[in-house]
Amino acid sequence: MSRIHTRVSDYSINLGRALSQLGNAVLAGDPDETISSRAFKNRGRRNLFGLIDWAITLVFPNHTKNALERDEGDPYP
pLDDT in tens, 14-32: 999 999 999 999 999 999 9
46: Cα separation from own chain's centroid:
18
Task: Say whether pLDDT at 71 is over 90.
Answer: yes
Burial of 9 from C-beta contacts in 10 A (0-12 / 13-18 / 19+):
exposed
What does pTM read for this prediction?
A: 0.87
Yes or no: say if 42 and 59 are a contact pair by the CB < 8 Å rule.
no
